[in-house]
Amino acid sequence: MWKDFIEPEFELPNIVLERKLEGFEDATQALAKIRIVELTGFNKKRKELSKAFQHILVLSSRFIPGYSFEVLSFSFEVDGYPTEIIVEDGIGDELEPNRFDGTEVKYYPNSQEDLEAILDKIFETKKFNNVVGGIMKLARSGSKNHVESDLPF
């Protein structure tokens, strides 16, 4: 009774983002980390995200235990797009300087290509680059008495 099912060819947003993040650690001389954390169970009480699969993108450093900075959060349904992206406020201020300050900067890319274009813009912002630079500087000074941290954030 069943015909063969076909998987769509697009990449899911978390896979696209993972691919974008390749090489990040090397570019920071392993002083900073960036990772996607899936929100599940208790953590999934983020009222600003409206879709089923919810993730956050977090900067941290193995040399600064406990430190974290959330770059963005995103959510999507099983069909991947449109993806809902909410950008950290400082990054959002730079990307959308003329918006009313009371609102979060949200994007809804309809395709993999749109998503990649938005991610490129986010990673090029001064705020993102300043935070990474700041983490590197702090991590370098703290790396002398380094305590490895394995918590996600």
Partner 1 sequence: LNVFFWNIGNKSCIKHVVRATQCYDIDILILAECDSEIARKGIGKILNKHGFTVNSTPGCDKLFIITKKSIQFSLFKQDTHFSTFCANKIIFCAVHFPSKLHATVDRQRRLSERACQAIEETELRCQHMNSVMVGDFNMNPFDEPMISFTGIKSTNHSTIGQRAYTRDDESAFLFYNPTWTLYGKYQMSPGTYKYSNLGHNVLSWHLIDQVIIRPSLIQSFDFDRFAIVQTIGRYSLCTNAGKPKVSDHLPICFTLI
Region binding partner 1 by CB under 8 A among candidate stretches 13-21, 76-84, 116-124, 131-139? 131-139
Half-sphere exposure of 150 (CA within 13 A, CB side): 0
- 143 touches partner 1 by CB under 8 A: no
Q: How far is CA 54 from CA 12, 30, 48, 112, 125, in A?
A: 12, 27, 10, 17, 23
- As a whole number of angstroms, the distance between CA 140 and CA 137 comes to 5
Task: State the amino acid at position 14 in one-letter form.
Answer: N
Which residue lies nearer to partner 1 by CB, 89 or 124? 89
Region binding partner 1 by CB under 8 A among candidate stretches 6-14, 74-82, 83-91, 108-116:
83-91
Stretches 20-28, 66-74, 75-83, 105-113: which one binds partner 1 (CB under 8 A)? 66-74
φ/ψ of 9, rounded to 5, equals: -85, -15
Q: Which residue lies nearer to partner 1 by CB, 9 or 101?
A: 101
Candidates 5-13, 16-24, 58-66, 110-118; binding stretch for partner 1 (CB under 8 A): 58-66
Q: Which is nearer to partner 1, 48 or 113 (CB)?
A: 48
CB 34 within 8 A of CB 57: yes
DSSP-based three-state secondary structure for 124: helix
Instruction: Provide the residue type at 1 as one letter.
Output: M
What is d(CA 55, CA 41) in angstroms, rounded to the nearest whole number? 12
Of the residues 34, 64, 118, 122, which one makes contact with partner 1 according to CB under 8 A:
64
By CB under 8 A, the residues from 29 to 48 that bind partner 1 are 45, 47-48
Structure tokens at 78: 């099983």
| Contact residues: partner 1, CB under 8 A | 45, 47-48, 59, 64-70, 88-90, 93, 100-104, 127, 130-135, 137-138, 151, 153
